[in-house]
Chains A and B, each alone.
Chain A
Amino acid sequence: QKEVEQNSGPLSVPEGAIASLNCTYSDRGSQSFFWYRQYSGKSPELIMFIYSNGDKEDGRFTAQLNKASQYVSLLIRDSQPSDSATYLCAVTGDSSYKLIFGSGTRLLVRP
């Protein structure tokens, strides 16, 4: 079982719709959770982080965390074609110093 699992996609949504990206993790001791956006050929860009159960909103982005279910998600409202990218979920492992990444979900926003 992979430590951090994401559906590889592509997830295709029309412009203006809500995109929902999901991630599950195996280590119950994980403390911090991050979402990165990576455009093709570029490096990951931090877009959200969340530490506590519940929702955290920043502009069009909402991160949701459920530690009991070991589940973290990212909602993107009013999706734009410029949101088309791979979204990487990352969690801290058993040692706090490293991030463990999923393989990413490719999002395609259709104009």
Chain B
Amino acid sequence: DAGVTQSPTHLIKTRGQHVTLRCSPISGHKSVSWYQQVLGQGPQFIFQYYEKEERGRGNFPDRFSARQFPNYSSELNVNALLLGDSALYLCASSRGPDSNQPQHFGDGTRLSIL
């Protein structure tokens, strides 16, 4: 079975631009979460979506937004990019939104801001 797929794998943008990252969950998984990982740190939670609704949001500015589609895939949008947004963006899927559902990560999108 296919795992979590993310696109693109790498992206280079300049300050002020916007970016859209995409994620397809594991088949049968209805919950998608987004995380940001900077070098040397663990992933930080950005959003969780379940059944197309936002279930939770981390401590990120309003420049970050996301949505989930009827097929459970998801997009993460970041506007007005800053140098500090350079990071590995990870998508994780799980069967449901609750804490006892293990989350499985995709390979990530590495975003570089120049």
Contact = CB atoms under 8 A, between A and B. Distances in A.
B99 A43 contact: no
Contact of A49 (B43, B55, B102, B108): B102
Given A31-B100, A97-B48, A90 B107 contact: no
What interface size band does chain B fall in? 20 to 34
Interface in B32-66: 33, 35, 40-45, 48, 50, 55-56, 58
A101 B44 contact: yes
A46 B103 contact: yes
A45 B97 contact: no
Interface residues of A, number: 25
B99 A92 contact: yes
B42 A42 contact: no
A36 B35 CA distance: 14
B108 to A, nearest CB: 5
A95 interface: yes
A3 B102 CA distance: 20
Given A43-B107, A46-B104, A51-B100, A98 B42 contact: no
Interface of B: 33, 35, 40-45, 48, 50, 55-56, 58, 88, 90, 92, 97-100, 102-108
